[in-house]
Structure 1
Amino acid sequence: MKYKQLGSNKISAIGLGAMPLSISGRPSETDAIAVIHKALDLGVTLIDTSDAYCQDESDKHHNESLIAKALQQYSGDTSSVTVATKGGLLRPEGRWTQDGNPDRLRKTIRESHAILKGSQPIDLWQYHAPDTNYTIEEALTPAKEAVEQGLIRYVGVSNFSVEQIEQARKVVDIVSVQNQYNPWHRQPEFDGVLDYCEQEGLIFFPWSPLGGSSRVSRLQDIQVIAELAKDREVSVYQIVLAWLRAKYDCIVPIPGASHISSIEDSVKAIDLKLDNQEVKRIDEQLSK
């Protein structure tokens, strides 16, 4: 396994996106825990979650509870595992809605802390998405308070522009940004977010790095990715993860997995290095 620095935490260069283990169509709890355990066995030390990774509001914090249970049941050492959670979305009737209400954020931070850590700070808490009903200062003040109270160690933001990241950093120290980034959605390359993260030493977590459930099966249709996968005798998923890692040093992909085979395949991308020409070929085809 290769590693990156997130504050003083050493995190694996590829993490586990745990969302598929808790939303609609999720595996059984036994199978879900087996996926988390396999990730740990393979050297993954970063698990990305959220209070909103669940089926609806009655199921809130499902993913965090699942991860906590998996870590408790794991027979190996979990002291180096970083759990990155989020708050700021609601799941009414299974929909996704933004919620930057400071009082609700204070409440969910405490709930996440009780579930995940108890007496220790949450490793990384991320504001899930800006809510235009509240200023960034209003929404991040609960996170600042939680850092001061020892409930949170580090703070990150998600779905933020450069301007919003800068606003957030005036409220509380920010160590990471999590925005969508994949072959179909390359906005962070062009809106300055990736350049900003690279320059400022912030970790960038691309969410849906393989395109999400609606697009992942279409990776094979991208000719250059399919050709490289055939030439290298690896999966198209490994090619995409290697492409992401080659683009910027600050990138730590967090591919989702609901089967052991998925996380096994993703971790293999750690040892796959694309040269500049291969990266350029992918970029050129994706730009057409």
Structure 2
Amino acid sequence: MNLRPLGSTGLQVSCIGLGGMPLSLEGRPAKSEAIKVIHASLRAGVTLIDTADVYCLDQAEIGHNEKLIAAALEQWQDPESVVVATKGGLTRPGGAWVTDAHPRRLKAACEASLKALKVPAITLYQLHAVDDVVPLEDSVGALAELRRAGKIMHIGLSNVTAAQIRRAQQVAPIVSVQNRCGVLDRRDFSNGVISLCEAEKIAYLAYSPVGGSRGKHRVADDPTLRRVAADHGVSPFQIALAWLLARSPVIIPIPGASKITSAIDSAAAGALTLSSDDLAALEHAFPVAQVSTSAARAV
């Protein structure tokens, strides 16, 4: 597994991470099987796991995924080698997804995540989403306070625009951005987000990189992905992940997995090299109008 820098943190993590969400939502595997999935991913070289307090069925289960990851790492021979990134800023009343990024709420969520993960400090704590009724500066300010208090080490953002990244940077150093990105959702290549991350040395964590639960079948059935995959003797999902890695040095895809086979398959993309012909074919099938670095600086 190749490594990539986690923004400006000085940390190096696997170029493919593991998204923990499928292990805690509807249709999730039993706890023992979920731990096996996490361990399979770690054995395959993954050293970055992404989670959130709201990866659960409803508000009564807040912290389910974090506790699951903590249990898996307790059984792992080298837990210190794994970076766990979590998020706060959403709630799950009745199973809905509701934004609440009020400073008071974020601080309480962080305290709960510390207990769920069983750590003295969270390596990467991310604002899960911008709250329409709370100024972004107030939400990021709360994370800055948590950082000064030693409860979190680094601050990240999720589901943000380039303009919002710029606003957050005025409040605190931002080391990562986590947005939806993949062959089926390429908007961040043309709206300035990825170019800005490149210019500012911010890690870009691509979630749903192979389409998520709804788009994975489109990825699996895409003729170009299937043809390139056949040439390499791998799955179309691996090609989709390798394409993202080839697009930018700051991108770290974090595909989810609820099965051991999926975890192993995704991790294998971290060692896959696409040829110039492969990339040309994929570029034709999935065109990207990438914003220049100078344009990103002007956002």
If the TM-score is normalised by the length of the shorter chain, which range does it land in? over 0.9
1:95 aligns with 2:96: yes
In the alignment, what sits opposite 1:30? 32
Counterparts of residues 132-211 of structure 1 (less than 5 Å): 132-211=132-211
Residue 287 of structure 1, CA deviation = 4.2
In the alignment, what sits opposite 1:114? 115
- How far, CA to CA, are the matches of 1:117 and 1:124 in structure 2? 14
8 Å Cα contact 2:140/2:171 also seen in 1:
yes
- SS of the residue corresponding to residue 257 of structure 2 reads coil
2:70 to 68, 71, 79: 68
- How far, CA to CA, are the matches of 1:246 and 1:43 in structure 2? 19
- SS of the residue corresponding to residue 157 of structure 2 reads strand
Identity within the alignment, %: 43
TM-score (norm. length: structure 2): 0.93
- SS of the residue corresponding to residue 168 of structure 2 reads helix
2:55 to 53, 58, 70: 53
- SS of the residue corresponding to residue 215 of structure 1 reads helix
Aligned residues: 286
- How far, CA to CA, are the matches of 1:235 and 1:207 in structure 2? 19
In the alignment, what sits opposite 2:262? 262
* Residue-by-residue CA offset, 1:205-228 (whole Å, 9 max, x unaligned): 111000010110221332111110
- How far, CA to CA, are the matches of 1:284 and 1:236 in structure 2? 16
Counterparts of residues 4-15 of structure 1 (less than 5 Å): 4-6=4-6, 7-15=9-17
Residue 19 of structure 1, CA deviation = 0.4
- How far, CA to CA, are the matches of 2:257 and 2:60 in structure 1? 23
Residue 4 of structure 1, CA deviation = 1.3
8 Å Cα contact 1:122/1:153 also seen in 2:
yes
Residue 73 of structure 1, CA deviation = 1.8
The farther-off stretch of 146-155 and 263-272 is 263-272
**Letter of the 2:211 counterpart:** G
CA RMSD of aligned residues (A): 1.3
1:275 aligns with 2:298: no
* Residue-by-residue CA offset, 1:137-184 (whole Å, 9 max, x unaligned): 111122111100100001100111111001111111100000110122
- How far, CA to CA, are the matches of 1:167 and 1:43 in structure 2? 35
In structure 1, the gaps of 5 or more residues are none
Q: Which has the higher contact order (CA 8 A, sep 6+)?
A: 2
- How far, CA to CA, are the matches of 2:172 and 2:248 in structure 1? 25
In structure 2, the gaps of 5 or more residues are 289-299
8 Å Cα contact 2:44/2:268 also seen in 1:
no
8 Å Cα contact 1:10/1:80 also seen in 2:
no
8 Å Cα contact 1:175/1:202 also seen in 2:
yes
8 Å Cα contact 2:49/2:83 also seen in 1:
yes
**Letter of the 1:77 counterpart:** D
